[in-house]
Amino acid sequence: MTALVKVILGSIAFAVFWFLAVFPAVPFLPIGRTAGSLLGALLMVVFQILDPGDAYNAVDLQILALLFSTMVVSVYLERADMFQYLGKFLSWKSNGVKDLICRICLVSAVSSALFTNDTSCMVLTEFVLKIARQKNLPPYPLLLALASSANIGSSATLIGNPQNLVIAIESGLFSFGSFMEGMLPAMIVGLVLNAFILLVMFWKVLSIQNEDEEDVNLRSLLPATMSHLPSNMNENRNVGHADTQGLESRVSSDEHETTHLIVHEMSECDVVPNTWTKWRRILWKTCVYLVMVGMLVSLLMDFNMSWTATGAALALIVLGFEDAGPSLEKVSYSLLVFFCGMFITVEGFEKTGIPSLLWDYAERYAEVTSAKGIAILALVILVLSNSLSNVPTVLLLGARLTGSRASMSLDELKKAWLILAWVSTVSGNLTLLGSAANLIVCEQARRSPHLAYNLSFWRHLKFGVPSTIAVTVVGLTLIS
């Protein structure tokens, strides 16, 4: 009876966490995802499903350190104008709207694989909306291209999304290079297929284009958060211009030559510090890019992922040679707290025995040695990812795969982990609530000052269903 009570109470705590994670603004408890995650964790302790010591031990510090460090690296890459250059590429010598869709897919996928999908969507959404406004295009095909490609592209690397970070630590089977080797072919083919589906579904919409369209001004594509120019630049220019006019008005006509010499000497004196500031920034940006390349090379050389990312983040902080507070404030600490609560909540749900019971029933059918078994396993992952969210799904099923080491060969186990990584990531494209990247794009577009747009659930679903099914099947074929 006591065990039954714990099962019921643990299920209630997990249901509270799930409901607030999927619907963070419910009228009767609009506390958000992060607070909902902490509430679920607290209920697991209050209901005595976990004792406080087990709850603290459930928090995986390696994953938190890796997630925190990659966010810090992304902040400094943004300061070094990396995303600005990616945004410029979207409109550089563009050959029409179809070409623009393909570029958005490519830039979104590559940046997500290297800088995580959430970061890419957060920064690139503003670029996409500005391009849509200037080209007089409906924004929803471009937003769908951005979000869906970010999810697909993030599957290629262990640092591409949070669920891959969990797989990197929990499986213990993959190096950075071996994981990318297993996932890259599926990602490339899935990305091409996704772009093809976008072009087919929105061909007529994308063909309606303003014939008098002007070239996109690259400078106007820079969002406010990406601009590093001082806000008083124009004021300084105006003041300098007024001073020069006042000086000239106080001299006679035969003294103009002397005045111009003085002004010329003053401008030459200003060139030295301005030139030094320019080259100093170029040198700093070069160092930032070298640190990023060094981090990727170190990961490919199988160095510890958490410490490698932490070392890269600290190197960038030191190279900044200034107070790191403003940069560290841009880190999403609410996401880190959300992960802490989620780790505890999922661990408590594991203690109820319900995930083990369901897996024992499905395991006999979900064998990775047959096409039927792979299809069943993929269907289970897809349903769970869109009902529980992808990271809790990976935590739950990952624990089951770890417990199946004795009954599976090493190759079968690696294949099962790759299938889990692929389907849990790509299934985020099924619905608007399927991944955080979708929600970020939707929220950024809704609040944008450039072209506010509300991407509806049903509009996303019409594209998400065919894209997810096709991309998932093709990727599973290549992975298998």
pLDDT(1) > 60: no
The CA distance from 10 to 13, in Å, is 5
Provide the whole-model pTM: 0.73
> How high is the pLDDT of residue 186?
95
pLDDT(204) > 90: no
| Of 164-178, 269-283, 351-365, highest mean pLDDT | 164-178
Asked if residue 10 lies in contact with residue 49, where contact means CB atoms within 8 angstroms, the answer is yes
> How high is the pLDDT of residue 181?
92
Two structure tokens written together for 274: 């301005």
> How high is the pLDDT of residue 451?
65
pLDDT(276) > 80: no
Two structure tokens written together for 162: 């949070």
Cα-based angle 343, 7, 162 (whole degrees, multiple of 5): 20
- Report which of residues 208 and 398 the model is more confident about: 398
> How high is the pLDDT of residue 258?
45
The CA distance from 298 to 288, in Å, is 15
Residue 159 DSSP SS3: coil
Which H helix or E strand runs over 337? helix 333-351
Cα-based angle 326, 331, 336 (whole degrees, multiple of 5): 145
Backbone CA torsion sign across 459, 120, 58, 378: positive
Closest CA to 286 of 83, 81, 123: 81
The CA distance from 147 to 428, in Å, is 10
Cα 21–chain centre separation = 18
The CA distance from 205 to 67, in Å, is 39
Instruction: Count CB-CB contacts under 10 A for residue 290.
Output: 12
The arithmetic mean of pLDDT across residues 150-167, rounded, is 90
Closest CA to 401 of 341, 355, 339: 355
**pLDDT bucket at 245, cuts 50 / 70 / 90:** very low
> How high is the pLDDT of residue 252?
42
Closest CA to 57 of 69, 66, 44, 68: 44
Closest CA to 305 of 447, 111, 475, 157: 157
431-480 tens-digit pLDDT: 876 787 887 787 778 777 666 677 777 888 889 999 999 999 999 999 97
